[in-house]
Structure 1
Amino acid sequence: MVDTVIATPEAEALIQRLIAQHGPVMFFLSGGCCEGSAPNCYPRGEFVVGPADILLGQIAASPFYISRSQYEFSKHTQLIIDVVPGRGGMFSLEGPEGYSFHLRSRLFTDEEIAELFP
């Protein structure tokens, strides 16, 4: 089974540091403008997902949710969560670490699409 969301080793390491500091975390990608299109990391249970939000998968054993509108836009791509130097969103946990989570993507192959959408 192909993963719809994955994390780079650098992102996984940062997630593990955040878990050590804050306990379990979760991610949300809203698809809004500006920082809304960056993956945001929150302490698990402190961000309420809505009925239209989709659990896309897990990275570093942490749930990754996406808004339905963003999912419809990006469902034919694998989301790759990476980190870059600098502060990102104001509410995401990694800001004080001097890094921000960054979204990359790649198109699924025809074979992967057939597996995901039989």
Structure 2
Amino acid sequence: MADVPNRALITEAAAELLRTLQGRHGALMFHQSGGCCDGSSPMCYPDGEFLVGDRDVLLGTLDVGDGVPVWISGSQFEAWKHTQLVIDVVPGRGGGFSLETPEGMRFLSRGRAYTEEENRLLDGDPPVTGSRYERGERPRDGGTHVVAEASDACPIPAARPAIAHS
């Protein structure tokens, strides 16, 4: 299933910040926030500090350092399952409990809608839930999850040429 797209990616700039945080805090995890206090941002925690529920979905494990799992709530996954999550970083204040907050940077979620073919492939590769993870199941190895820039994963469509009217 090598053609199945990864459900989560990270930009090189965000991976660099993640490596710094790993050096300071050890193993890390992300949980894609569903809104409320910190908006819809990827929250970075020491691995295991955020309790993953039985219905939470593991989007993938980013190949940064020893690996960084990316989780999302099951109900939010249902709304986002047709979208590839791309974790990026921008200057600003991070979410109140997210580890990047003191760095003057914040992780940011970007997304790209899957093509019909990608959705078909993903339908045949269901994600691992918290309960399945607890039983020892792990997602397939999807190769690298690091992209140079967000635009590499989420290209901006070319502008349509203006139509000349006579």
TM-score (normalizing by structure 1): 0.95
- Long gaps (5+) in structure 2: 125-166
Hey, what does 1:39 align to over in structure 2? 42
Gaps of 5+ in 1: none
Contact 1:31/1:69 (<8 A) preserved: no
Determine helix, strand or coil for the equivalent of 1:103: strand
RMSD of equivalent CA atoms: 1.1
Structure with bigger strand share is: 1
Q: Distance in 2 between matches of 1:36 and 1:52?
A: 21
Give the total of aligned pairs: 118
Given the alignment, which residue of 43, 67, 70 partners 2:76?
A: 70
CA contact (8 A) 1:29 1:36 kept: no
The structure that has the greater radius of gyration is: 2
- 1:86 aligned residue: 92
Aligned to 1:27: 30
TM-score (norm 2): 0.68
What do the CA deviations read for 1:45-77 (whole angstroms, capped 9, x no partner)? 211111121111122210000001110110001
Q: Which runs of 4+ in 1 moved over 6 A?
A: none
Which secondary structure does the structure 2 equivalent of 1:37 belong to? coil
Tell me if structure 2 keeps the 8 A contact 1:53–1:67.
yes
Percent of aligned positions with the same letter in both sequences? 53
TM-aligned CA distance change 1:23 to 1:6, over 3 Å? same
Following superposition, the deviation at residue 16 of structure 1 comes to 0.5
